Amino acid sequence: MGGVSGRPGARRSEGGPPAGKAAPPAVTGGLYGSELGGNLVRSAAAELIGTYLLVLVGTGVAVAATLAKGSYDGLAVAPAFGLVLAALATGLGHISGCHLNPAVTLSLASVKKFPLA
């Protein structure tokens, strides 16, 4: 049987693409549910802001640990980077996948978990 009315060739109204046109493929599969084919400007802005905050906070704690003798020690730097990275992954992960380090992107691409093209 064909369509809704039972006639061959009758078209159903499902709200999909017009007859003869294929729907564009949805590009999914990013980290944290991000859309790899989504808005590139939005993703790039999220990565820029995330990288800025990671470097700002991490190096700020490293400088504070060096200058303020006794208040901080060298062990404060690692938790600072880790906490900022966790916060950024939570806050920006759904937008861009939160690849703040190019090594992450390259390592995922090398095991075919992230498309380069």
How far apart are alpha carbons 88 and 96 in whole angstroms?
Answer: 11
Residue with tokens 């490293």: 62
pLDDT tens column, 60-102: 998 988 888 776 777 888 999 999 999 998 998 888 777 787 7
Q: Residue ranges of the domains in the chain?
A: 49-110
Residue 9: the pLDDT is 54
In angstroms, the CA 52 to CA 76 distance is 19
In our burial notation (b when 16+ CB lie closer than 10 A, e otherwise), range 98-111 reads bbbeeeebeebeee
pTM of the model: 0.60
Residue 60: what pLDDT?
93
